[in-house]
Amino acid sequence: AVGFKSAHNKEIQDKKLLSLVAPSDLRSFGLIPELIGRLPILTALEPLDKETLKSILTEPKNALVKQYQRLFEMENTELTFQEEALNVVARKAIERKTGARGLRSILESILLDTMFDLPDMDGVTEIVVDKDVVEGRKTPVLVYAKSAKSNKEDAA
């Protein structure tokens, strides 16, 4: 098969094309042999999918979600992310083409105002981040503890 529109060329997908690069291809592209010789391994990376990004957010020992939860624990507040919110965070990282490195900036933009205002808020026991919060349609949901006065009234 010859030509750009041949059946053989249609079988090679764009994503897999880089995995087929050989040192001779680099030479024909214009790199000098002295530089090509210093590249011991040629490899191609594939973009991370949504499930992988979600696991990066939650599973490792120093996962981003765990880091933010620990920061909020210092203010005696529990931070909760709903499953759908994590999906949207991962989707945003894919759309921005920032991968795992972009996850921190997305979470930072969501929680920055809340982290700044939290020390001045009294009685907040939990902060819930849902899909709408990640998409910027509302602020994080603040859950307040019942005051001692309210508990006495409920008991009476």
pLDDT category, 150, cuts 50, 70, 90? Answer: very low
pLDDT at 126 over 50: yes
Q: State the Cα–Cα distance between residues 17 and 41, nearest whole angstrom.
A: 16
pLDDT at residue 117 in the model: 93
Cβ distance 142 to 121 under 8 Å? yes
Tell me: the pLDDT tens digits for 70-99? 999 999 999 999 999 999 999 999 999 998
pLDDT digits (tens, 9 = 90+) for 37-52: 888 887 777 789 999 9
